[in-house]
Amino acid sequence: MRRPPVVMAFLVICCLVFTATPASAAVVPGVTYRGEGTFYGATGVGNCSYDATGDTAIAALNHTDYDNSAMCGAYLRATGPLGEVTVKIVDRCPECAPGDVDFSEAAFARIANPTAGRVPISWRLVSPDISGPVSYRYKEGSSQWWCGIQVRNHRNPVAKLEVRVGSGWVSLPRYQYNYFISESGTGCGSDIRITDIYGQTLTDTGIAIRERVDQPGRAQFTKR
């Protein structure tokens, strides 16, 4: 269960530079992070605005590394006293210190005895095997005058989402609840281009403004 934060026993590695990253991020590929692991009653619902799921390989990331939802949908491979587990980030843990991960009960049990409650862990980003292309969801209330767009089923973390406006592209800001928002409706219903943290881009057309419907794109980010 979630418990009051304590002083971390490990330092977070934070100073490596990964030049292929198109935008600055709190979590850098190729870096191993250290912190503490805990567990909670995870359902898949949380700050990332995903739906409830039967998948137990999920977790919440500490507020700092959550990075305004930049790590929503990211996959981490965590190591604890008893072994390894790969989890998808679906939520934010506001009381967790940098480096900490709050796992589902089942995921925590893969790396530690649940009676321990809190254990030292290390983790890093991974680019897993997943099926199907990326998908897009328009937020409820979206229209030609305002819209929110969320990317789902992405192998690698999404760094940027752009919409086509005329002959160019406009980047939309991302909010903590994991939607890219067009406050004025600019680009709502137009072509979408997304970029992952490795600089790979995918462009999709024909993604209509349909509230709370997952619409598949045509491709998936390459495994890294």
pLDDT score recorded for residue 9: 34
Provide mean pLDDT across the span 44-67: 97
Tens digit of pLDDT for each residue in 166-195?
A: 999 999 999 999 999 999 999 999 999 999
Phi and psi angles of residue 135, each rounded to the nearest 5 degrees, phi first:
-135, 165
Q: Look up residue 107 and give its two tokens.
A: 């995921």
Say yes or no to pLDDT of 10 above 50: no
CA 92 to chain centre: 10
* pLDDT of res. 26: 83
> Cα separation of 33 and 78, whole Å?
9
Q: Got the DSSP string for 164-188?
A: EETTEEEEPPB-TTS-EEETT-TTT
Q: What percent of the chain has pLDDT over 70?
A: 89
33-62-138 Cα angle (round to 5): 115
Beta strand pairing status for 33-40 and 119-126?
antiparallel
Residue 66: what pLDDT? Answer: 98
Coil, helix or strand at residue 160: strand
Q: What pLDDT does 25 receive?
A: 62
With a cut of 80, say whether residue 78 has pLDDT above it. yes
For the chain, give the mean pLDDT.
Answer: 91
pLDDT (tens digit per residue) in 137-164: 999 999 999 999 999 999 999 999 999 9
Count how many Cα atoms sit within 13 Å of the Cα of residue 5 in the half-sphere of its side chain.
15
Dihedrals phi, psi of 33, to nearest 5 degrees:
-105, 155
Instruction: Give the lowest-confidence range in 21-35, 84-98, 113-127, 206-220.
Output: 21-35
